[in-house]
Amino acid sequence: MYLLSLAVSLLPTYIQNQHNYHYYSLGASGAVSAVVFAGIFIYPTLPLGIFPIPFHIPGFIFGPLYLIISAYLAKKGNGNINHSAHIWGALFGVVFVIISSYFGSDYDLLHNFLQEVSSYFVR
C-alpha cells in the first residue's frame, strides 16, 4: 500500500504542474498520509495529535480536520509543501483499506467504523 500510495498521491500534482519547471515535489508525505488514514478507518477512536500540541483527539475527528486544513493550504498555494499529496494519499488509504477488506476477508470494515464512532458518543 505504501509504495502504491506514493505514486498515486504524487500523480495529480505532477499532471497539474508537468509544464511548470520551477515546481518541485518530492517526498513521502502522501504515502504516510495514506497509512495514517487507513489506520484511522480501521481504528477510528485512536487518539491522534500533532507533536507540539499537548492534547489528542479521536482519529475520526482528526482526519476530517486535517483534510480541511490541507485543502485550505493547497488552495492558498504558499509554501513548498504538496498539500494535495496529503489529500490524495488520505483518500487512497481509505479506499485501499475498504477494497482490500472487502475482497480479502469477511471483516465488515464499514460497519465496524460506524459502530466504533457511534459507540464513542454513547459512553
pLDDT tens-place string over residues 28-51: 889 999 999 999 999 999 999 888
pLDDT in tens, 96-109: 999 998 887 888 89
| Domain residue spans of the chain | 2-17+29-122
Look at residue 102 and give its three-state secondary structure.
helix
Give the integer Cα–Cα distance in Å for 122 and 111: 17
Single pTM value for the model: 0.86
Q: Name the pLDDT band for 116 (thresholds 50, 70, 90).
A: very high
Residue 112 has pLDDT above 90, yes or no: yes
The predicted model gives 68-94 an average pLDDT of 88
Taking the C-alpha atoms of residue 99 and residue 5, their distance in angstroms, rounded to an integer, is 14
Task: Please tell me what DSSP assigns to residue 23.
Answer: -
Q: Which residue has the higher pLDDT, 123 or 11?
A: 11
Q: Residues 81-86: what's their mean pLDDT?
A: 86
In this predicted structure, the answer to whether residue 27 has a pLDDT above a threshold of 80 is no
Residues recorded for the chain: 123
Q: Which cell numbers hold the place of 62?
A: 482528526
Q: Dihedrals φ, ψ of 100, to 5°?
A: -70, -35
